[in-house]
């Protein structure tokens, strides 16, 4: 038994090294996301999505000029190689075995490996050798690799390839290679992925109603069963059984018997309540889970913490205007840990939890009474992600979102497996009982809070990791006057608010907390979203509700699309990335209707025959990756399109779920097939990795 556990721990450690959280998106060599330029760089031939600003472009030009390359043909090739750092895929181009390459991986059609599916099959490495082998280059980028590799001493800063490398074969062995599924190679031009025909949007989304109650959170049971936890805004959590698809069953939930009741601690109001729920990946063994909620320090003595308006961010709480009659930081955002230990001999069998906190993870005092996000979820890396809005106030007047000394308007990444001592908490000025992951982007930045993973958000409302591509971390961020946005979240990324609302410049009405000039930041613009003007004629307002990449086989025509909605049920949208891994998304509004044989009949809106969803609060996903819509009128599940007479040519050929009759659900994700061997391997690696926590 001990040897088995040791083997598992060894594999877990190995997987932590192998699973890279951002491997498949456009990524810069410093692990940040590309940003958008409207004009071409002056020296390097890049525009649009790039990894270089004007200053970096100028530095590359000066470095290239110092090389003093006299041969024009060779100079052209070396310029393209030098400029590859500006490529939006430079993180993949420069990826080495242990350290970043001095030059990008040069495409070599003779190299062993996978076919160069994303690059022209050009032997670019040989071309560089043939063109530049007798050309003198000062401080050649190819020299350091040889000196480290073969121990060749070279006292002169000027050299030829022939001086340093024995032959083309040896040269291309060091610098050449082919594109694989994990990386791309460089052919002298900006990386461009093969364009494919954009799949037609689904004809419609078919829903069935399986519950009448309103919930704000749904989390699949970590044991892989057909159970899930539901929580309402008032502060109650229930454990429910999900009915089999096509069985005609409804949600198995006993409203009178809550799994946990936190209504005495939770401050429930329009903008307040139980905001998030997350179960430890190893919950079936350790019984740990976490709740995110708002409290009122006037009503509950346990509601106490540091105010987010403080001297660190040049904010004086006494000078904040009253918002809805409340005192500044009277309300707090809390993440607390609970346990089922003692409730059952095996945590996975527990039907109730202890109501007392195990520990307070974090408490943040709110300057206003809105925009406090509150979702929590565990990432594939085992860390807890905490989404926090800008704290409220029209136009983020104190510019909290852009201030990296503030935790408002941020996504935080916390290590809750290594709880520090009180002395360490004080020493590192932490806001609660957690540690800082060593690879958080601002750990070494004295002008930033180390908890921050990404920043520049107004009110991130519902984020998720793609079940098939866990490197895709995606969030809906609520806009103010013009635009509702969907963002792909990357390490250290700045998502623009309040300098930008979506991709539009945002002029704040007042700025008592100072402003951030637009030309001082490199914002990451949304990959999807919608303008308020497109829906205001229907509801007069807009507020995005983020969802999931659809990974169930129930509706094969939705597979791989990102499903999201508007709070006011003014529409459902589905976005698809094309080409895959390009970061380019196309969005379509998706018609939806209710299955005639829905277990609970769906009421319709007076004006149309559409289901009367009411407010779309959130989305949920079960252990089969089926998607649920949590609304003010009840719980809806996406079912096969044929049940609503929508045409999907893929349904009969790829889906085992028919229009009638029960279909057994697989017990866990590990038993489902995927589209490719690489997806299957990645999923199995993820499952094993999750057992490490």
- 285 with 421, same domain: the answer is yes
Q: Is 683 helix (H, G, I), strand (E, B) or coil?
A: helix
In a domain, 687, yes or no: no
- Does residue 134 sit in the same domain as residue 264? no
3-state secondary structure labels for all residues of 620-635: EECCCCCEEEEECCEE
**Average pLDDT estimate for 307-328:** 81
pLDDT at res. 195? 56
The verdict on 488 and 358 lying in the same domain is yes
Whole domain around residue 126: which residue ranges?
A: 21-177
Residues 324 and 245 in one domain: yes
Look up residue 213 and give its DSSP letter: S
Q: How far is CA 120 from CA 115, 187, 478, in A?
A: 10, 7, 41
Buried b vs exposed e over 392-401: b needs ≥16 C-beta within 10 Å?
bbebbbbbbb
pLDDT reading at 247 higher than 90: yes
How many angstroms separate the Cα of 499 from the Cα of each of 113, 510, 617? 45, 13, 27
CATH number at residue 332: 2.120.10.30
For residues 440 and 484, membership in a common domain is answered with yes
Nearest to 215 by CA among 675, 537, 638, 628: 628
Across 124-133, 266-275, 416-425, 600-609, least confident range: 600-609
Q: Which of 130, 161, 177 is the last residue of a domain?
A: 177
187 inside domain: no
pLDDT > 70: what percent of the chain? 83
User: What value does the mean pLDDT take over residues 658-663?
Assistant: 36
Percent of the chain at pLDDT > 90 equals: 64
Q: What is the pLDDT of residues 235-245, one digit of tens each?
A: 999 999 999 98
Rounded-to-integer distance, Cα 105 and Cα 563, Å: 36
In a domain, 369, yes or no: yes
685 belongs to a structural domain:
no
CA distance 661 to 524: 46
**What local confidence, expressed as pLDDT, does residue 37 receive?**
81
Instruction: Give 547-550's long-range contacts (Cβ < 8 A, gap of 24+).
Output: 547/462, 547/464, 547/476, 547/619, 547/627, 548/464, 548/466, 548/467, 548/619, 548/621, 548/627, 549/464, 549/466, 549/467, 549/468, 549/469, 549/472, 549/474, 550/574, 550/625, 550/627, 550/638
Least confident of 53-67, 110-124, 318-332, 334-348: 110-124
Structure confidence by residue, pLDDT tens digits, 171-224: 998 898 887 756 688 999 888 766 566 778 899 999 999 999 999 999 999 999
Do 172 and 216 sit in the same domain of this protein? no
């490495």: which residue's tokens? 125
Inside any domain, residue 691: no
Instruction: Flag whether 86 is in a domain.
Output: yes
Give the per-residue pLDDT at 147: 45
Q: How many domains does the chain have?
A: 2
Return the structure tokens found at 8.
């598992």
CA distances from 75 to 40, 67, 132, 161, 512 (A): 20, 9, 8, 14, 52
**Same domain, residue pair 220 and 171:** no
Residue with tokens 């050309």: 135
Distance, CA of 129 to CA of 23 (rounded, Å): 30
Among residues 177, 196, 213, the one where a domain terminates is 177
Tell me which of 261 and 318 has the higher pLDDT: 261
In a domain, 508, yes or no: yes
Residues 97 and 234 in one domain: no
Q: Does the pLDDT of residue 371 top 50, yes or no?
A: yes
- If asked whether residues 275 and 139 sit together in one domain, one would say no
pLDDT at 151 over 70: no
The confidence score (pLDDT) of residue 457 equals 98
Whether residue 30 has pLDDT greater than 90:
no
- 366 and 504 both lie in a single domain: yes
Residues 43 and 101 in one domain: yes
Q: Are residues 491 and 577 in the same domain?
A: yes
101 in a structural domain: yes
Kindly indicate the confidence band of residue 346, based on its pLDDT and cuts at 50, 70 and 90: confident
Q: What is the pLDDT of residue 682?
A: 43
């Amino acid at each position: 038994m001990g040897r088995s556990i040791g083997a598992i721990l060894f594999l877990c450690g190995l997987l932590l090294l192998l699973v890279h959280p951002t491997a498949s998106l456009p990524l810069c060599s410093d692990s940040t996301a590309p940003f958008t330029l409207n004009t071409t760089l002056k020296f390097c031939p890049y525009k649009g999505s790039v990894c270089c600003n004007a200053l970096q472009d100028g530095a590359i030009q000066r470095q290239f000029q110092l090389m003093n390359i006299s041969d024009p043909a060779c100079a052209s090739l070396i310029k393209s190689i030098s400029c590859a750092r500006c490529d939006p895929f430079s993180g993949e181009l420069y990826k080495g075995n242990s350290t970043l390459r001095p030059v990008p991986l040069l495409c070599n059609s003779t190299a062993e490996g996978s076919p160069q599916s994303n690059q022209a099959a050009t032997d670019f490495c040989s071309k560089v050798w043939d063109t530049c082998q007798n050309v003198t280059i000062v401080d050649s980028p190819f020299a350091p690799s040889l000196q480290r590799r073969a121990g060749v001493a070279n006292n002169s800063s000027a050299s030829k390839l022939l001086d340093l490398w024995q032959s083309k074969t040896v040269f291309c062995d060091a610098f050449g290679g082919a594109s694989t599924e994990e990386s791309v190679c460089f052919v002298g031009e900006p990386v461009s992925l093969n364009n494919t025909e954009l799949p037609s949007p689904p004809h419609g989304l078919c829903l069935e109603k399986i519950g009448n109650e309103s919930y704000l959170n749904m989390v699949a049971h970590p044991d892989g069963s057909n159970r899930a936890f539901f929580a309402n805004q008032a502060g109650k959590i229930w454990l429910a059984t999900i009915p089999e698809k096509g069985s005609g069953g409804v949600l198995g939930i006993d409203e009178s018997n809550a799994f946990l009741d936190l209504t005495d601690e939770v401050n429930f109001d329009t903008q307040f309540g139980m905001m998030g729920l997350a179960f430890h990946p190893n919950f079936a063994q350790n019984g740990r889970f976490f709740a995110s909620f708002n409290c009122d320090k006037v009503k509950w003595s346990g509601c106490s913490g540091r105010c987010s308006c403080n001297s660190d961010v040049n904010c004086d709480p006494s000078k904040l205007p009253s918002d809805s009659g409340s005192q500044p930081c009277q309300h707090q955002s809390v993440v607390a840990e609970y346990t089922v230990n003692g409730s059952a001999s095996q945590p996975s069998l527990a039907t109730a939890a202890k109501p007392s906190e195990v520990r307070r993870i974090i408490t943040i005092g709110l300057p206003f009474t809105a925009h406090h996000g509150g979702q929590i979820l565990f990432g594939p890396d085992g860390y807890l992600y905490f989404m926090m809005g800008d704290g409220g106030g029209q136009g983020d007047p104190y510019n909290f979102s852009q201030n990296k000394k503030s935790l408002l308007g941020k996504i935080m990444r916390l290590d809750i497996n290594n709880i520090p001592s009180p002395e360490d908490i004080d020493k590192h000025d932490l806001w609660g009982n957690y540690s800082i992951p060593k690879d958080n982007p601002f750990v070494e930045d004295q002008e930033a809070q180390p908890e921050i993973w990404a920043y520049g958000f107004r009110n991130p409302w519902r984020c998720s990791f793609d079940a098939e591509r866990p490197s895709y971390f995606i969030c809906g961020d609520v806009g103010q006057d013009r635009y509702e946005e969907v963002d792909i979240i990357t390490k250290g990324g700045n998502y623009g608010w309040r300098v930008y609302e979506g991709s539009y410049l945002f002029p704040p009405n007042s700025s008592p907390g100072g402003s951030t000039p637009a030309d001082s930041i490199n914002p990451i613009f949304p990959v999807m979203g919608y303008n308020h003007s497109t829906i205001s004629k229907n509801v007069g307002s807009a507020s995005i509700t983020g969802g999931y990449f659809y990974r169930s086989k129930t509706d094969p025509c939705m597979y791989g699309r990102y499903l999201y909605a508007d709070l006011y049920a003014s529409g459902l949208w589905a976005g698809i990335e094309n080409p895959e891994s390009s970061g380019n998304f196309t969005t379509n509004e998706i018609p939806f209707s209710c299955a005639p044989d829905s277990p609970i009949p769906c009421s319709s809106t007076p004006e149309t025959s559409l289901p009367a969803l009411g407010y779309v609060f959130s989305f949920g996903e079960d252990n089969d990756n089926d998607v649920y819509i949590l609304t003010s009128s009840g719980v809806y599940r996406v079912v096969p399109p044929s049940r609503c007479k929508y045409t999907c040519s893929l349904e009969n050929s790829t889906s085992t779920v028919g229009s009638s009759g029960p279909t057994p659900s697989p017990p866990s994700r590990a038993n489902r097939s995927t589209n490719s061997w690489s997806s299957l391997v990645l999923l199995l690696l993820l499952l094993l990795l999750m057992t490490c926590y």
